[in-house]
Structure 1
Amino acid sequence: MPARCDPEPVASTPAAAFRVLGPLTLTTAADALVLPPSKVTCLLAALLLHPDEVVSVAALQQAIWGDDPPVSARAALQTCALRLRQLFQRHGLTANAIRTVPGGYRITAGPQTVDLMRFRELAGRTRAETDPETELATLEEALALWSEPMLANVPSEALHRDVVPRVNEERVRVIERLCDLKIGLGRDRSALVDLWTATRVYPANERFAASLVEVLYRTGRQADALTELRRIKEHLDNELGVGPGAGLRRLELTILRGEAPAPVAAVAPRPGPAA
């Protein structure tokens, strides 16, 4: 029997906005609904993490049941999809159709309806930007889409293990560039705020730690800089069983010797794509 494809959705009604860069939330013109933890919520999250793409039946089953799917997993997945469609119907959402396609399912989505797509659109836009002020403003808009913790109401071990860390890496790259821009533009005070937060959210990230220590030292806060060095060294030792990298070690020697901090490098545009 040929695979069934749902008809194209009718886009006459307004689409919902979906938030995945925080607790999974469905927002309509009338309400914002933080979805309760459930298998249906896992299904929606798995679709939204691959927006407007076909997600295979196997991947969706893994997201919902992990390595222990029920014997009737395919039928149970169809039931979850039916309940998700019913949820959309109760909120008057027909523009965000859940479509059955050959090999899996797909949700109709775009940058204006899914915050992950909007984040990627904004981050991608900066790659060709040559004005640091414009790039900085665009990156700040992208990061404003995030809140903590991502998908806290989605009880899917597979998504939190396999997908969420990769999305978080995209965020890390944007924060790194944002801090580089602020430092290069001479905005140490603003960069410090971002770096304090980043080092607490990503305590093992040596680049964030080194940037924070360097800015603290350059702004005359030697004691705070040494405190941060101790923190990252202890974290790396206790949690990962490793010592700091060469960059942090050199920075520590610079501070202990009381040497002049390195001059701030001018903001450089992003490298263009390889020929």
Structure 2
Amino acid sequence: MVKCAFCSIVHGIRTKKIGRGRMTSADAHRTGRTGRQTRFTVLGMLGVADGRESAVLQPSRPAALLAALLLHANSVVSAETLQRVIWGEDTPAQAKSALHSCVLRLRRLFAKYGISENAIEAVPGGYRITADAETLDLVEFRELLSRAYAEKAPESELALLRTALDLWHPPLLANVPSDLLHRDEVPRLHEEWLRAIERVFDLELAAGRHRQAVAEILQTARAHPLHERFTEQLMEALHRAGRRAEALAEYRKTKEHLAHHLGVDPGPSLQRLELAILRGDAETAAPTSSSDTPQVSRHAAKAGPASVGPPAAPARPSTRARPTPAPPAANGPAPAPGSPPPRPAGGDLPPAAPAAPSAEAPPADPGDQAPISGARVLDRLVGAGLLEEGPRGHYRIHELLRAFARAAAAEGVGARTGGRTPHPPSRPGAAELHPTEA
């Protein structure tokens, strides 16, 4: 019973007098004869403490009433809301008198153990309880968050957020028998906690403490597998700590979990982060220390995940030296109008004249670049995570590479390559590239 819970906490505390008047509602449950402060808690089990001892209230209707008033401290809670909190949809026929009786029980309990009877105020339309940061943990929690979000210094903001989160002791209100509070009020409190812990992780990562933050982010991400933001922060922390493979493994776990439980894919932000880690985008996540990690620039990323290798230079006319065409022989026949110029001895075609002064210079011919062996291309694809080597020389193609191949085929890559059909690179022991059998 609630009475038993209060007995061990506020026994002997009497009402404090202010002059000739009684205690105000805000002072009603602060200090008693012992000088210890009375404080209620809702960021965990509903309880009360006097600065030295604390106790958890037993599940009861007065406990549900007290929890509803404390969750809306300093505000009027309507009688209709309190009735739904206590009895749900099955309110008694005399709900108003039953609520008044429940309030009287709580007031008598307060008065008997040193808390003023007017701690619960009757106001037009309902009831109200007044509290501040010293008498209610929820008020202190919100004040600390407000100060933290207004703080400009990152370390000061982080310290305030940590202090606020130290007040959190889940599960919330597990000893309060009210479906309405657990359906509406507890999720709202949880959202405030989510915002605060997300900010804490952002500040830790921004300060460069990637390795130190991994353990805490991992624990939080495991407890909230459907909250994709925690997975993003975990992947970023792992990758910046040089654990790229583990970061990509976290993405696969989250993707499988979302597909199994919700039938959806990860959100765009999480997909972009995975792609950034695959291509080693330094602006999104710090690349690993390995010099063999392929890099892709933002310009090359537009071409799809298959564009691995060094960052592509901006399109400009090739600066490679080309042999100048030899002038036609004086006594030779003149070329016919519209026919190509004679091929020089070097074998390369001379640069074509621009069609118009405002025409944009064509991109460099792929043939101008040094040829790359098929085995090297294959190694880069495997290193970028776009191909996964399987048994018997077979490979599993990443879905991003598969999507790029389909998009390239739909856009007519063959026409842009002069009608040539690209073939997968050859490698000893790998005759073809295709997914391995499951």
TM interval, short-chain normalised: 0.7 to 0.9
Picking from 57, 60, 63, the partner of 1:35 is 57
Cα distance in structure 2, aligned partners of 1:58 and 1:26:
26
Instruction: Give the counterpart letter for 2:233 in structure 1.
Output: S
Is 1:65 matched with 2:87? yes
Aligned match for 1:237, one of 259, 271, 293: 259
Alignment match of 2:155 (pick from 111, 129, 133): 133
Whether the aligned pair in 2 keeps the contact of 1:23 and 1:150 (CA below 8 Å) is yes
May I ask how many residue pairs the two structures share in their alignment?
259
- What is the alpha-carbon distance in structure 2 between the residues aligned to residue 10 and residue 167 of structure 1? 23
Task: State the alpha-carbon separation in 2 of the partners of residues 230 and 142 from structure 1.
Answer: 33
In 2, Cα distance between equivalents of 1:211 and 1:81: 47
| 1:79 maps onto 2:79 in alignment | no
| Cα distance change, pair 200–93 in 1 and its aligned pair in 2 (3 A) | farther
Q: Cα gap change, 1:104/1:7 in structure 2, threshold over 3 Å: closer, same or farther?
A: farther
Q: Take 1:93 and 1:189, find their aligned partners in 2: how far apart are those partners?
A: 49
Q: Secondary structure at the match of 1:149?
A: coil
Distance in 2 (CA, whole Å) between partners of 1:86 and 1:181 is 48
Pairing 1:85-124 to 2, within 5 Å after superposition: 85-94=107-116, 97-124=119-146
Residue aligning to 1:142: 164
Whether the aligned pair in 2 keeps the contact of 1:217 and 1:261 (CA below 8 Å) is no
Instruction: Confirm or deny: 8 A CA contact 2:276 2:284 kept in the other structure.
Output: no
Deviation at 1:28, TM superposition (A): 1.5
TM-score where L is the length of structure 1? 0.86
Contact preservation (8 Å) 1:237, 1:243:
yes
Match of 2:220 in 1: 198
1:22–1:149 Cα contact (<8 Å) kept: yes
Is the 1:16–1:28 Cα contact (8 Å) retained in structure 2? Answer: yes
Higher relative CO (Cα under 8 Å, sequence separation at least 6) belongs to: 1
Q: Is the 8 A contact 1:195 1:211 kept in 2?
A: yes
Q: Retained in 1: the 8 A contact 2:238–2:244?
A: yes
Q: Does 1:223 align with 2:239?
A: no
Residue number in structure 2 paired with 1:18:
40
Contact 1:95 1:108 in 2 (8 A): no
Question: Structure 1's 239 and 80: CA in aligned 2 closer, same or farther, altered over 3 A?
Answer: farther
> What CA RMSD, in Å, does the superposition of the two structures yield over aligned residues?
2.3
CA offsets 1:67-104 (integer angstroms, 9 cap, x no match): 22111211111121112122323431228711111111
Match of 1:179 in 2: 201
Q: Which residue of 2 aligns with 1:259?
A: 280
Identity of aligned residues (%): 49
Q: Secondary structure at the match of 2:64?
A: helix
What is the identity, as a one-letter code, of the residue corresponding to 2:146?
Answer: G
Q: Return 193-202 or 139-148, whichever deviates more.
A: 193-202
| Distance (whole Å) between structure 2 residues aligned to residue 264 and residue 118 of structure 1 | 36
TM-superposed CA distance for 1:26, in Å, is: 0.8
Moved more, 39-48 or 8-17: 8-17
1:46 lines up with 2:73 in the alignment: no
User: Relative to structure 1, is the Cα distance of residues 30 and 84 closer, same or farther in structure 2, using a 3 angstrom cutoff?
Assistant: farther
Q: Which amino acid aligns with 1:166?
A: R
> Would you identify which runs of 4 or more consecutive aligned residues in structure 1 move more than 3 Å?
6-13, 260-265
Query: Contact 1:55/1:106 (CA < 8 Å) preserved in 2?
Result: yes
Task: Determine the C-alpha separation between the residues in 1 that align with 2:272 and 2:63.
Answer: 48
Contact 1:19–1:114 under 8 Å retained in 2 = yes
1:214 matched to which residue of 2?
Answer: 236
- Gap change, CA 1:11 and 1:210, over 3 Å in 2: closer
**What is the Cα deviation at residue 235 of structure 1?**
2.7
Structure 2 unaligned blocks of 5 or more: 1-21, 32-36, 287-438
Contact 1:183–1:264 (Cα < 8 Å) also in 2: no
Deviation of 1:36 after TM superposition, in Å, equals 0.9
C-alpha displacement of 1:199: 1.4
Alignment of 1:143-158 (within 5 A): 143-158=165-180
Distance change in 2, residues 1:151/1:237 (3 Å): same
Q: TM-score, normalised by structure 2?
A: 0.55
Does the 8 Å CA contact 2:79/2:126 hold for their aligned counterparts? yes
- Point out where structure 1 has 5 or more consecutive residues left out of the alignment: 1-5, 266-275
Give the greater-gyration-radius structure (CA): 2
Paired letter, 1:58: E
